Amino acid sequence: MVLSRDIELDLETALIPDQSTPTQQNCSPTQRAWIEINETALRQNVKAIKQSLSPQTSLMAVVKADAYGHGAVNVAQTVLEAGGEALAVATLQEGIELRQAQIQAPILILGAIHTVEEIQALVKWNLEPTLCSLQQASVFGETLQTLQTSLPVHLKLDTGMSRLGVLWKDVVPFVRCVQKFPQLEIKSIYSHLATADEKNDTFMEVQRERFESAIAQLNSIGFTPPCFHLANSAATLRDPNCHYDLVRVGLALYGLSPSPHLASVSPLQPVLEVKARITQIKELPAGAGVSYGHQFITEKPTPIAVIGIGYADGVPRNLSNHLEVLLHGKKVPQIGAITMDQLMLDISNCEQVQPGDIVTLIGKQGEHTITANDWAQKLGTISWEILCSFKHRLPRIFTT
């Protein structure tokens, strides 16, 4: 059984950089908008998280979704150099991208994989899948028997997330099903927490108790896998009892707290800044409508600046007339509807503004800081969504 050439090409060439892939380059003086990634802050976040762990607990960096919009390859390399031991991604293609960049660390695929062609690709690229059902385990075992090869696998338990995984109370038949196939090497057993970022949460403890019950069931049959893991970013910051052998950290790596009440637990620094340039300045008379639908009408003569970034770049249109940005160290209001490629600012409180001046949408200027959390609160969403929304036509510029 061999991987068909068509599928092989799909899996490998789909990741060749094109116009949809974020470039990594120095920012030119004429670049309209870009994202800056501070590698020093990223390293310091890794150090801070590692210091909160016991020497027996490893750090797995979650770099799915292009490292939450930060650039997966560079982030993975930096985290591993700073002390991370393993990586996690959501899809097979994300794992292949890291292997094509010559990254050799263990890579866990968090999403479910089922097809023979995908299993063959896992073997080829030395990637470690998640098994989340008995049926899936049988498909893997039979395929690997045919291929006459083995593969490290991670078994997922559902302790209350109600997403992927076998129910925790069925862990023994799950393990026995996997053990029928010697080609499946059980590398870890893990679960995922649903409410760890909630302030007054008690269900996290319920999930931990269920996980402990699964461990006890395995002990009763004399089986102990090399690794147990349960903690996401929130549980890593919140409760050492959830650390086990490994923690899977995503958002905290990027310098954002999963919840406001955890913000003071560890000295994290935001890694990402979003910047754009002023492309035009003009003076509007009183009574002028601004942008589509004239959602904003000037009450007096108003100087405005046009900025070369919009919702096609990941600035949510629902922030229209609610967004503030930083210009010359001051907070400046955005006015009118945010458009696909541009937005407008009221620069009445700024002096000597010129085309080409840099505006910070997320990040720090002077004494002011705007974070993805600030945007999320205004929109009634979460910072994860904000970070993952920045489009690939914004170059990622890596700084120190």
Residue with tokens 């263990």: 106
Is 344 marked as binding a ligand? Answer: no
User: Measured in Å, how far apart are the chain's first and last C-alpha atoms?
Assistant: 48
Longest Cα–Cα distance of the chain, Å, equals 80
Q: What is the amino acid identity at position 224?
A: T
- Residue 311 catalytic? no
340 marked among binding-site residues = yes
Residues sharing a CB contact under 8 Å with residue 374, sequence separation 6 or more, in sequence order = none
SS3 content of the chain, % helix, strand, coil (to 5): 35, 25, 40
Catalytic residue among 47, 180, 282, 292: 292
d(Cα 126, Cα 61) in Å, to the nearest integer? 18
> What are the φ and ψ backbone dihedral angles of 124, each rounded to 5 degrees?
-60, -40
Which residues of 159-266 form beta strands (DSSP E)?
A: 166-167, 184-191, 228-229, 246-249
DSSP per position, 103-148:
--S-EEEEEE---HHHHHHHHHHT-EEEE-SHHHHHHHHHHHHHHT
Continuous H helices in 16-133? 39-51, 64-69, 72-82, 92-100, 116-125
> Active site includes 254?
no
Of 50, 64, 156, 275, the catalytic one is 64
Q: Are 297 and 369 spatial neighbours (Cβ–Cβ below 8 Å)? A: no
Supply angle C-alpha 223, 225, 227, rounded to 5.
150
Nearest alpha carbon to residue 325 among 343, 339, 311: 343
For the purposes of burial, counting CB atoms within 10 Å of the CB of 165, is it exposed (0-12), middle (13-18) or buried (19 or more)?
Answer: buried
Instruction: Summarize the annotated binding site as residue ranges.
Output: 163, 340
Instruction: Summarize the annotated binding site for substrate as residue ranges.
Output: 163, 340
Give the residue numbers annotated as catalytic, written as ranges: 64, 292
